[in-house]
C-alpha cells in the first residue's frame, strides 16, 4: 500500500512538473513573439485601411532611408487594396546580439487574389519595425 502511494505521488509530481514546464515554455515563446506579431498587425491594419503614410512610419530606418514616403505610398497604392490578412507564423531570433523576426502573412486583396508574404522585422530602440 505504501509503495502504491509513493508511486502515485511520484506520478502526480511528474504530471505537475510537465504541466508547469509547458506553461512556462508557452509564456516564454509568447513573450518573445507577440511584440513582432503586434507590429505586423499594426502595419497591415494601416495598409488595409489605406493609411499608407501610417504604414510607412512603421517601417525600419533602413527601409525609410532607401524609400521616400511618396514612393512607398505610390507602390502600396499600385499593389491593390488589402481586403484581409491572416498571420500564420511568427519566428524571432537573436544572432550576434541583433534581434530580428519573420512573420508569415497570408494577404487577400480585393477581387480575391491571395499571396503569402514573409515579412522581415528588426528591433530598433526597443520597438519592432517592419522591413518589407
Q: What is the pLDDT of residue 97?
A: 87
Neighbours of 85 (CB within 10 A): 21
Average pLDDT over residues 119-127: 95
Q: Is 5 strand, coil or helix?
A: helix
Reported as a single tens digit per residue, the pLDDT across 46-84 is 999 999 999 999 999 999 999 999 999 999 999 999 999
Reported as a single tens digit per residue, the pLDDT across 15-58 is 555 544 444 333 444 457 999 999 999 999 999 999 999 999 99
The Cα 51–Cα 64 span in angstroms is: 16
The structural domains of the chain, with segments of one domain joined by +, span 35-130
- pTM score: 0.76
Residue 123's alpha-carbon distances to 23, 54, 64, 128, in angstroms, are: 26, 18, 15, 4
Q: Which residues touch 91 (CB under 8 Å, ≥6 apart)? A: 33, 101, 102, 103
Fold topology of 35-130: Nuclear Transport Factor 2; Chain: A, (3.10.450)
Amino acid at each position: 500500500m505504501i509503495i502504491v502511494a509513493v508511486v502515485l505521488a511520484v506520478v502526480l509530481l511528474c504530471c505537475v512538473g510537465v504541466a508547469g514546464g509547458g506553461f512556462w515554455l508557452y509564456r516564454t515563446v509568447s513573450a518573445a513573439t507577440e511584440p513582432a506579431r503586434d507590429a505586423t498587425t499594426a502595419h497591415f491594419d494601416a495598409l488595409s485601411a489605406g493609411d499608407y503614410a501610417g504604414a510607412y512610419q512603421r517601417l525600419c530606418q533602413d527601409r525609410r532611408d532607401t524609400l521616400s514616403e511618396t514612393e512607398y505610398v505610390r507602390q502600396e497604392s499600385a499593389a491593390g487594396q488589402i481586403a484581409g490578412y491572416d498571420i500564420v507564423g511568427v519566428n524571432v531570433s537573436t544572432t550576434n546580439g541583433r534581434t530580428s523576426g519573420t512573420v508569415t502573412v497570408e494577404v487577400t486583396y480585393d477581387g480575391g487574389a491571395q499571396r503569402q508574404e514573409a515579412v522581415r522585422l528588426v528591433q530598433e530602440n526597443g520597438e519592432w519595425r517592419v522591413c518589407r
